[in-house]
Amino acid sequence: MVQRAHVPQRVVGRSLPRLDAFGKVTGKAVYGMDFALPGMLHGAVLRSPHAFARILSVDTSQAQAHPAVHAVVTAADIPTDPAAADWREDHPESRRMADTEKPPTRYGDIVRDNTLLAKDVVRYVGQPVALIAATSEEAAREALRLIRVEYEPLTPVFDAEQALEPGAPLVHPEWEKYEAPEGMGRAGNICSRTRIRKGDVEQAFATADFIVEAKYHTGIQHQGHTEPRVAVAAVDGQDVLTIWTCTQLPFNIQNTVSRLLDRPSGTIRVIGLGLGGGFGSKLLLGGEAFAAALTLRAGGRPVRVLIPPGEDLQDGYPRHPSHTWLRAAVRSDGTLLGLQGRIILDTGAFSGSGPGLASVATLVLCGPYRTPNLDVEGLAVYTNKMNFGPMRAPSGPQAAFALESLIDEIAERLGMDAVELRLKNLVSEGDLGPTGQVLTGVGVREALQKAAAAIGWGEDPGPHRGKGVAVSWWTTTGGSSGVYVKLNPDGTVLLKSGAVDIGTGAVTAGAAQILAESLGVDFEDVIIGEADTGSAPFDYGAQGSRTTVAVGRACMKAAEDLRQQLLELAGELLQAPLDALRVGEGAVYRVDDPAIRKTLAELAEFSLEQRGGLIGRGTFIAPPTLYDESTTTNHFYPTFHSPSFHAHAVEVEVDPESGEVRLLRYAAAQDVGYAINPGFVEGQIQGGATQAIGFALTEELVYGPDGRVLNPNLTDYKMPTIADVPRIEPIIVESAGPYGPFGAKGVGEPSVLPGAAAIANAVARAAGVRLRQLPITAERLWRAMREAL
């Protein structure tokens, strides 16, 4: 339970049920998997069987002749890019190019290096090559087998460290032609290089009492969303292309499809449906552009594209595998003097979110510690594997695992208590972060102390048992959020936002509670409109633990706008000055005589006839966080905005005969600023900790020597079940953030950050050996214990 020093508000701060709860428990909620249109065709994707190969020819004639097939799309059918660096409409050589020679339209978060369909080269097993729409899924998949593609295999590279070696095969020989920001440090297979440097690192290591150095490795973790990625597209009588999809970023999908299909964004409408889990995978293109390309080819007839789980496990933007090297300079009393490090993110065949996340990783790798001298580098590196992408707190768990393992190794070297060592070096209120930002709302010490106490830190756990702790910090992502708040004639309030509630309750509980609190209406009187790019204001997207904070603040501004309109209208009707009126209890009333009032329903009905209704508008974008620019090079994310702080503590038992790890106790303390809905905050903490358990112990997509995923199914890819997860004790810490509503900070991602490190530290104590590679499977641990004998 959360304990507050101040009096709770009327609506916020309470564990109220989410507004979409009834629809979800009764089955009335419409998810992407539920959505269908009359006469709908079904799409399927032909994927590359090779990790790296030239495409010599594509023959679709037999597939097009199939009686059930209504559309076939290859790269030749996708609009080319007239703005590409290697092709210009006004250039004589370009005009002589055949359509097949013109460069395809490329897209990407930072580096535009990806294409909707492979044109000349395939770069990983599973890369999309062609699309088919037929009258059934079975017919579409049958027709895929009729497409003939001739390939010329090339030499691939599968390991990011090997990709950095001189003479390694280039995944993108033409990388210099890609559109990208200046100064990214691109070279060969490096698609970005970023650095944080401050102080005098060389002097720190020269004067240190001792130095601790180690390398750490993490595997590939899939998001494990229950609902597959699915989209339906159709063209209406006004030539508007509408896409219904389970996406976290409707506006980003709109813009990306506009670019890829060379279609004005105003003629594209994206409607966000219910999500059966996303965790970052549904931030990026799924089947939306495939469905759009097919429906345009099929004359506007609706087309549904579903990415089966087996395909998603081979091409679904899972968490980046990583290699991290760290070296710390330490005094004999445990004071951290300096840190050197490099984290390499394997970004796969395309850059995707890799360049940005390599920057984020460097901040996590520095940690919430007062380390005066830093030299930390982050690289995103191409390989011939699928494009890795954003998964809950992307790049954070990899970096936290390395840093917090190293901190424990320092404690072991010193013979010092691991909690005491952290408390000695943790940041406090007003300290500077790694890049010079001033830290406020710092709750990390309280989080660590409460988490450690919850598992009985300091008490002897007994044989084959061990306890571990880890801390970290995270950002509340910025970006703009706009909302409309419409007062209905019955006194209810419609909240219209471009933000999708992805299952967390960030919109249907958090933002709605903030709106009800700010407008003085009952929570049950708030109605949530659908996220629709055709009618909703822009929202940056359900990502980065930002939704409740950003949409909530926009709701507060919209409520202020609407309150002013209500006061002005009521002032006219009640013939009272505005300062004599108040909005609350579903009405506008006189302060000196509350019986003199107009209900919101009365005001709304009157406004329809006289003013066309009452609509409040609000927009919020987080203010920039100041930092010392001299500390960074090529950095895409130099500060953590309104940072949150967290600590996890676990107790484990290791079976010495099998290497199996059993979790006994798990406490997760999280500084959330202010818990808008404590019940849902606790749920997010427990859910993130569960994913941390999977990352630490069981989850890993494994590649074979030919570049194929060996376990593309949920039988061989082992996510934790309820039998694997102990009771996770959520501990809410509240240190108010600088701009969140009521002091709230981001909540959804931080709970996954320190867990794997805490488990690894506990396992090291229980087993007597330390594994520096995740996941810590029973086989790996058993082998390590045998080698240590």
Q: Which tens digits make up the pLDDT trace of 656-671? A: 999 999 999 999 999 9
Q: Which tens digits make up the pLDDT trace of 518-557? A: 999 999 999 999 999 999 999 999 998 999 999 999 999 9
Angstrom distances, CA of residue 79 to CA of 98, 118, 597, 754: 13, 13, 61, 45
Task: Specify the pTM.
Answer: 0.96
pLDDT of residue 80: 85
Q: Work out the percent of the chain whose per-residue pLDDT is above 70.
A: 96
Can you tell me the mean pLDDT for 356-381? 98
Contacts of residue 68, defined as CB under 8 A and 6 or more positions apart, other chains included, come to 134, 135, 136, 139, 140, 142, 143
One-letter amino acid identity for 639?
T
pLDDT surpasses 60 at 86? no
At 410, the pLDDT band (50, 70, 90 cuts) reads: very high
pLDDT of residue 84: 59
Can you tell me the mean pLDDT for 173-183? 95
- Spell out a b/e string for 745-764, using b for 16 or more CB atoms within 10 Å of the CB, else e: bbbbbbbbbbbbbbbbbbbb
33-154+223-312: CATH topology: Aldehyde Oxidoreductase; domain 3 (3.90.1170)
CA gap 512, 524 in Å, rounded:
9
One-letter amino acid identity for 285?
L
Pairing between strand 148-153 and 614-620? unpaired
Q: Please, what is the average pLDDT of the chain?
A: 95
CA gap 653, 60 in Å, rounded:
57
Instruction: Please name which of 274, 283, 226, 279 lies closest in space to residue 250, comparing C-alpha atoms.
Output: 283
- Clarify whether 749 is annotated catalytic: yes
pLDDT of residue 96: 47
pLDDT of residue 375: 98
Q: Which tens digits make up the pLDDT trace of 142-167? A: 999 999 999 999 999 999 999 999 99
pLDDT of residue 470: 98
Q: Which tens digits make up the pLDDT trace of 412-467? A: 999 999 999 999 999 999 999 999 999 999 999 999 999 999 999 999 999 999 99
Can you tell me the mean pLDDT for 302-307? 98
CA gap 593, 583 in Å, rounded:
13
Rounded to 5°, angle at Cα 462 from 461 and 463? 135
pLDDT surpasses 60 at 16? yes
- The domain spans of the chain are 21-30+478-620, 33-154+223-312, 384-476+638-788
Can you tell me the mean pLDDT for 110-120? 97
Instruction: Please name which of 186, 197, 183, 196 lies closest in space to residue 634, comparing C-alpha atoms.
Output: 183
Instruction: Please name which of 484, 604, 488, 616 lies closest in space to residue 551, comparing C-alpha atoms.
Output: 484
pLDDT of residue 100: 54
pLDDT surpasses 60 at 1? no
Pairing between strand 268-272 and 241-245? parallel
Can you tell me the mean pLDDT for 752-774? 98
Decide if 21-30+478-620 and 384-476+638-788 have a common fold. yes
Q: From 3.30.365.10, 3.40.50.1010, 3.90.1300.10, 3.60.21.10, which CATH number describes the 21-30+478-620 domain? A: 3.30.365.10
At 2, the pLDDT band (50, 70, 90 cuts) reads: very low
Phi then psi dihedrals of residue 627, to 5 deg = -155, 175
Phi then psi dihedrals of residue 618, to 5 deg = -145, 140
At 105, the pLDDT band (50, 70, 90 cuts) reads: very high
384-476+638-788: CATH topology: Aldehyde Oxidoreductase; domain 4 (3.30.365)
DSSP symbol at 671: E
- Say if CB 472 and CB 364 are below 8 A apart: yes
Q: Which tens digits make up the pLDDT trace of 559-578? A: 999 999 999 999 999 999 99
Catalytic residue among 412, 749, 779, 787: 749
- Say if CB 140 and CB 44 are below 8 A apart: yes
Q: Which tens digits make up the pLDDT trace of 194-215? A: 999 999 999 999 999 999 999 9
User: Which residues on adjacent β-strands are paired with residue 663?
Assistant: 652
pLDDT surpasses 50 at 94? no
